[in-house]
Structure 1
Amino acid sequence: MENAYYSQAVHGPFELHDIGNLELEEGGTIRGCNLAVATHGRLNAAKDNAILVPTWYSGTNKILEQVFIGPGRALDPEKYCIIVVNQIGNGLSSSPHNTPAPAGAGHFPRVRIGDDVRAQHRLVTQVLGLERLALVVGGSMGAQQTYEWAVRYPEMVQRAAPIAGTARNTEHDFLFTETLCEAITSDPGFARGFYRSPEDVREGLLRHAKMWAVMGWSTEFFQAKRYRTLGFSSLDDFIVNFMFAYFSTMDPNNLLCMAWKWQRGDVSRMTGGDLRAALGRIRAKTFVMPMSSDMFFPPADCQAEWRLIPDAEFRPVETIDGHLALFGADPNAIAQIDRHLKELLAAKVA
């Protein structure tokens, strides 16, 4: 179904790359799988300056461009070729809302983090001709994909920076995310995924937005009334004109597709459930960067995984903005991430 939100006007410029049929870990197939890709900068002659940036839940290449990419930044398009790949299901790449019947909407197949990374690998090797990635960096679900890259293709990833995310999702976070899904699917207008427009699922999307406000920010964020600093007069104003405004035009099936794979992110699937063995495969110089006040991916969960990675440093980002510090509302948090990434990119690798 058409949705003007997922357009070049809102999220461009990006290019669509048809990588062919993608057979999925859960048994389905995305026929003619499209990856929406935004590229900043150019490959050098040696093809050793490529940085891959996967997207997070609900996010697209546009917010990553606005918050993290620019001259003088760590992700500097004057020095690097920065390849931002929109994850499957985010609305720009192949997703429930843009896949023709009968395979779209409520019939879109289950996708895992590993499917995203295999699709991205096909893109960067077969389409772009890359053999190495100087850095893979992503936040939240982008961190899940970063870990998957470093474990699945250790010889290709030279540096890795998972920000505000874990290599194996926790039971606690699984339950958090389940409430987000139920907020949407419990709306009678959801119609088992065959609604006519997001407006039919308005109440579910509003509940979903409120839950994101509770979990995505932090108790300190609300104690400090940080939403006033961001230009909102009250909590209600913030919920309606920021949180609900952000999610209200998104396709519910797209959100559910991403949430399902978020819940099941687990690099140990490659090693028979052995997380130590999986993270031990990583050869990349790795900086693990949790947000200090994150309730989805608390620092302690990230630290436990950091200890299992051979060449890794633990670099927590101090902020009271919680998980959604990724959105860039706290300039100090973004400055910390920039400093860490610059140091990581300057580090010598084999």
Structure 2
Amino acid sequence: MIENSYYSQDVHGPYELHDIGNLDLEEGGTIRACNLAYATFGKLNAAKDNAILIPTWYSGTSKIMEQVYIGPGRALDPDKYFIIVVNQIGSGLSTSPHNTSPPAGMGNFPRVRIGDDVRAQHKLVTEKFDLKSLALVVGGSMGAQQTYEWAVRYPDMVKRAAPIAGTARNTIHDSLFTETLVNAITSDPGFNKGFYASSADVREGLLRHAKMWAVMGWSTEFFQQDRHKALGFSSMDDFIMNFMNGYFSVMDPNDLLCMAWKWQHGDVSRHTGGDLRAALGRIKAKTFVMPMSSDMFFPPSDCQAEWRLIPDAEFRPIQTIDGHLALFGADPNAIGQLDKHLRELLASEV
């Protein structure tokens, strides 16, 4: 185990931990005493039909979801809904490589799939909160991958689904890019096959990783219009070092790699022998597919191709030049569009 003050209640709290017991993984390993970190907002009503589940994205935790998406008067309004934000396995808050005791932690942490996360989350919401249905499952990026997995795996439980800036089956292009993120970290000699003494030992790899995120996470228009200056950074060097690297450099490399492998291998068609049409055809939820218009990870065309395979779905692209990282909330117009669409989705009959 490695002590890392970044993954703490002070930074990401308040959140609770729930032990779901041993989690047998699709790839053959087992996580013993798997803990899920979750935060709740609002109250569950007597009928238990006002629950919303939000799974987290790569590197994100429940705190950013609270800050950007949840609040009174918003679509995700804790005065109306009981909102559960679950931090994915490997997030650093839930069971992750850095907080798992030897011998199973660090570089020995087992492979985890999106489906493992969703099965774990299902145990949480059914055992802890006795939920039989979810009014909405919504998430961005890897949260969208988990949203799709929920809708395909538990079609009778999910009433509405809102995958934002993500796909149900990862593309070859996106898988290749994710591989470069992985290689940026693992090629650092300080990585030591996942058995470093601290994240600082892998600082060069984490910096390369942050620069790659800068290239693909935003968009060409973002840089053409000097959006980094509008966000308060004086130069590109300032932006890369103090925003992109500042964000990632405090994180645990093994935790990032755990999430990257899941992202890279996300695929709901595993349920149907590789038939994506059959998998998405299982979805009973009213679904809004919401890509970011300038996203280079999950471009609108990839999301649109999947939308056409979902029985009761609408295609609601979000117009923004902030690319994939519009999810961070720096473009108020993009967040306003998301709020509008989510409000309409929640108002729809199911």
Map of 2:74 onto structure 1: 73
Q: CA deviation at 1:127?
A: 1.6
1:272 aligns with 2:273: yes
SS at match of 1:35: strand
Q: CA deviation at 1:261?
A: 0.6
Map of 1:239 onto structure 2: 240
Map of 2:46 onto structure 1: 45
CA distance in 1 between partners of 2:20 and 2:119 (Å):
11
CA distance in 2 between partners of 1:75 and 1:30 (Å):
32
Summarize deviations over 1:106-133 as a string: whole Å, max 9, x none: 0000000000000000111112100000
Summarize deviations over 1:62-115 as a string: whole Å, max 9, x none: 000000000000000000000000000000000000000000000000000000
Q: Give the unaligned 5+ runs of structure 2.
A: none
CA distance in 2 between partners of 1:157 and 1:239 (Å):
39
Map of 1:348 onto structure 2: 349
CA distance in 1 between partners of 2:105 and 2:41 (Å):
31
CA distance in 2 between partners of 1:283 and 1:265 (Å):
20
Letter in 1 for 2:184: A
Map of 1:120 onto structure 2: 121
CA distance in 2 between partners of 1:133 and 1:7 (Å):
28
SS at match of 1:137: strand
CA distance in 2 between partners of 1:27 and 1:266 (Å):
17
CA distance in 2 between partners of 1:46 and 1:128 (Å):
12
Map of 1:295 onto structure 2: 296
SS at match of 2:161: strand
1:34 aligns with 2:32: no
SS at match of 1:286: strand
SS at match of 1:73: coil
Letter in 1 for 2:220: T
Map of 1:96 onto structure 2: 97
Map of 2:106 onto structure 1: 105
CA distance in 1 between partners of 2:198 and 2:220 (Å):
34
Summarize deviations over 1:142-193 as a string: whole Å, max 9, x none: 0000000000000000000000000000000000100000000000000000
CA distance in 1 between partners of 2:250 and 2:124 (Å):
29
TM-score calculated relative to the size of structure 1? 1.00
SS at match of 1:53: strand
Letter in 1 for 2:107: G
1:324 aligns with 2:348: no
Alignment of 1:203-242 (within 5 A): 203-242=204-243
Q: Which portions of structure 1, spanning 4 or more consecutive aligned residues, are displaced by more than 2 angstroms?
A: none
Summarize deviations over 1:7-40 as a string: whole Å, max 9, x none: 0000000000000000000000000000000000
CA distance in 1 between partners of 2:107 and 2:19 (Å):
22
Map of 2:132 onto structure 1: 131
CA distance in 1 between partners of 2:285 and 2:229 (Å):
41
Q: CA deviation at 1:318?
A: 0.1
Letter in 2 for 1:335: G
TM-score calculated relative to the size of structure 2? 1.00
SS at match of 2:169: coil
Letter in 1 for 2:270: R
SS at match of 2:158: coil
Map of 1:82 onto structure 2: 83
Map of 1:167 onto structure 2: 168
CA distance in 1 between partners of 2:157 and 2:295 (Å):
30
Map of 1:7 onto structure 2: 8
Alignment of 1:17-32 (within 5 A): 17-32=18-33
SS at match of 2:37: strand
CA distance in 1 between partners of 2:82 and 2:100 (Å):
30
Q: CA deviation at 1:141?
A: 0.0
Summarize deviations over 1:221-247 as a string: whole Å, max 9, x none: 000010000000000000000000000
Identity of aligned residues (%): 82
Q: How many residues align?
A: 349
SS at match of 1:348: coil
Map of 1:145 onto structure 2: 146
CA distance in 2 between partners of 1:17 and 1:78 (Å):
24
Q: Give the unaligned 5+ runs of structure 1.
A: none
Letter in 2 for 1:329: A
Letter in 2 for 1:221: F
Letter in 2 for 1:180: L
SS at match of 1:138: strand
CA distance in 2 between partners of 1:222 and 1:196 (Å):
36
SS at match of 2:282: coil
CA distance in 1 between partners of 2:91 and 2:226 (Å):
31
